[in-house]
Amino acid sequence: MDPRLTVQDLACRRGDRLLFRGLSFALGASQALQVVGANGTGKSSLLRIVAGLLRPFAGSVERAGYVALLDGNLPLDEHLSLGETLAFWGRIDGVNEALDPGLNTLFDVPVRFLSTGQRKRAAIAQSRPRVGGIWLLDEPLNGLDVRAAEQLQHQVAEHRARGGIVVIASHQPFALPDGKQIDLAKFAA
């Protein structure tokens, strides 16, 4: 089944503040969207709504396909080795795709001893969705060096080439050939 993501007339409220309203878009297999906007406009909240972790204030989200989210809450247990934590998530998610080759030598290292960039690369590896899934990435380039950032952009291109959907919320430029872009400032309430 081809993945599909449809957002219709979405509004997001955080506390007493309406962040955005009237947001609509649709994505199908191999498509990508970058969401941009100033801090506090609701980019992260939008991704959490799309993932099904937050309820929208108004509107609807319809999705078909496995959903994977990478946000600032890296799902890595500080007390386990990198290999143990990735194996745990592999069993949960049923995904055992090839990892970032630079992580292979770190499998015995406890997560608490990894650098910020190594943790981010491990979280990226853990968050990769099944073929044809929907990959939601919130500020994915934060903490990555130039080489790792290029590698992630290549992984995103590969995911799209295999029919997957990608939605990225980022302040930094991200290579998304033929991708769409939405500025949340245009939907500010």
Domain ranges of the chain: 4-187
Which residue, among 93, 27, 23, has the nearest Cα to 64 in the 3D structure? 27
CATH of domain 4-187: 3.40.50.300
pLDDT band at 35 (very low <50, low <70, confident <90, very high): very high
pTM reported for the whole predicted model: 0.85
What pLDDT, in 10s, does the model give residues 36-82?
998 888 999 999 999 999 999 999 999 998 898 888 776 777 888 88
> CA nearest 68: which of 5, 137, 121?
137
pLDDT digits (tens, 9 = 90+) for 128-173: 776 778 999 998 888 888 988 888 898 899 999 999 999 999 888 8
